[in-house]
Amino acid sequence: MDSATWSLAFDLLGVFFFAVSGCLLAVQKGFDILGSLLLGSLTGIGGGVIRDLILGRFPNSFAEPIYLAPPALAALVVYFLVPAVQKARRTLLTFDAAGLALFCITGTVTALSYKVNPVSAALLGTVTAIGGGLLRDTVANVRPGLFDRHDLYAVPAMLGAGAVAALWTLGLYSTAAGFVVAVVVFAVRILALKFRWSVPLAASSRHQAERHAAD
């Protein structure tokens, strides 16, 4: 496969992973299968649509009907394989992490191939990666995972997007390099979840004592 085909494959796989996370949230919220398909679609293609709107191009998820397949598949897979009593947020977060890892790569590469400067391209890659999950959580009326304490969400996506932009600028980017970065981003995100890696709260730690005292 050439690099454009690989890029499409990565993108469709990312759409599928994010769509599964959306369908799993639909199960948790008691939505019907159509709500599952819609929430999965929004989650899967949302980040890419935001990226494409910012880049000023017709979103490829609307231009190419093949993008309808992963959310449809995700809704069916979740429907037939997931028990309705399944509440495991862990499964949702694992699929979300896989989507995040792929989209920070494909989002950045798409922006770079549109001649966007590397800093803005990394920013757009990050927006692509976190956009779908943010839409999913906002629309389904749950606290966005993006803002959860005790696990790094945006950091691995930012690092992955930055790494791709740097490799590209240095002329070192290849599909294989992109794949390696995606694997690292996924691993960092999963480890952050498992070991509850965190960054400081929004207000300085010198005030944490007061906060905890007040709780």
Per the rule left: phi > 0, alpha: psi between -120 and 50, beta: everything else, 148 is beta
59 to 98: interface string for a second copy, x by CB under 8 A: x--xx-x--x------x--xxx-xxxxx------------
The answer to whether 49 and 59 are in contact (CB under 8 A) is: yes
Is the torsion defined by CA of 75, 126, 136, 56 positive or negative? negative
Write down the least CB distance from residue 156 to a second copy, Å: 11
Q: Which two tokens stand for residue 23?
A: 């369908």
Burial class (CB in 10 A: 0-12, 13-18, 19+), 203: exposed
Could you tell me which stretch among 8-16, 25-33, 89-97, 183-191 binds a second copy (CB under 8 A)?
A: 25-33
Kindly list the distances between the CA atom of residue 47 and the CA atoms of 11, 21, 117, 144, 203, in Å, as whole numbers in the listed order: 11, 14, 20, 14, 29
Q: Which of residues 31-60 bind a second copy (CB under 8 A)?
A: 31-36, 38-39, 49, 53-59
Select 128 or 175, whichever has its Cβ closest to a second copy: 128
Least Cα distance to 49 among 38, 39, 61 occurs for 61
Question: Tokens 């939505």 correspond to what residue?
Answer: 31
Write down the least CB distance from residue 181 to a second copy, Å: 20
The answer to whether 11 and 106 are in contact (CB under 8 A) is: yes
The answer to whether 36 and 79 are in contact (CB under 8 A) is: yes
Could you tell me which stretch among 96-104, 136-144, 161-169, 186-194 binds a second copy (CB under 8 A)?
A: 136-144
100 to 129: interface string for a second copy, x by CB under 8 A: ----------------xx-xx--xx-----
Write down the least CB distance from residue 157 to a second copy, Å: 11
Note the residues at the interface with a second copy (CB under 8 A). 23, 26-27, 29-36, 38-39, 49, 53-59, 62-63, 65, 68, 75, 78-80, 82-86, 116-117, 119-120, 123-124, 130, 134, 138-144, 146-149, 152-155, 198-204, 207-208, 210-211, 214
